[in-house]
Amino acid sequence: MTTTQARTEPEHAQEADPQAGPAAAEGHHGGHGPHGYSAQKDAHLKRLRRIEGQIRGLQRMVDEDVYCIDVLTQVSASTKALQSFALSLLEEHLRHCVAAAAEEGGTELDAKVAEATAAISRLLRS
C-alpha cells in the first residue's frame, strides 16, 4: 500500500437535524442509542475497514521482509488515518452531544465539555 492509498476521503461531518428539536436529542448523548456519528455510521465503518486493510498490509509487509523504512512509512499513514478518524468522531461529538448539552445547560454541559477535553487530551498523548 502506498501513502496515497492511505489518505482518507474528505471529512464531511453531518450536523444534527435542527428541525428535530430538544426532544429528539434526548437519549442521543448518553451511553446508549444513537450518537453524533450515527448518521455517518456506514461511512465510518467503511473508513475503519480501509484502516483495517492498511494494518493487514503492514502484517504482510513484515511477513515479506519489506524494507524497514517502507514499513515505517505505512505505519505513519495508518496512524494518520486513525487520527483523522478520531478527529471526525470528536467533531461529531461536539456538534451533537455537546451542542445538545449546551441547550439543556447545567451540569450536563459541564460533564460533556469535561468528557470532550479528556478525549482531546488522550488524542494529544497518542
pLDDT tens, position by position, 53-105: 999 999 999 999 999 999 999 999 999 999 999 999 999 999 998 998 999 88
Residue 88 or residue 33, greater confidence: 88
Mean pLDDT within 14-29:
39
Say if residue 21's pLDDT is above 60.
no
Say if residue 32's pLDDT is above 80.
no
Q: What is the pLDDT of residue 34?
A: 67
Alpha-carbon dihedral 66, 77, 45, 29, rounded to 10 degrees:
140
- Per-residue pLDDT band at 27 (split at 50, 70, 90): very low
Q: What is the pLDDT of residue 117?
A: 94
State whether residue 38 is helix, strand or coil. Answer: helix
Of 80, 112, 57, the closest CA to residue 11 belongs to 80
DSSP letters spanning 55-124: HHHHHHHHHTT--HHHHHHHHHHHHHHHHHHHHHHHHHHIIIIIHHHHHH-HHHHHHHHHHHHHHHHHHH
pLDDT tens, position by position, 37-56: 777 889 999 999 999 999 99
Say if residue 16's pLDDT is above 70.
no
The position carrying cell 445538545 is 100
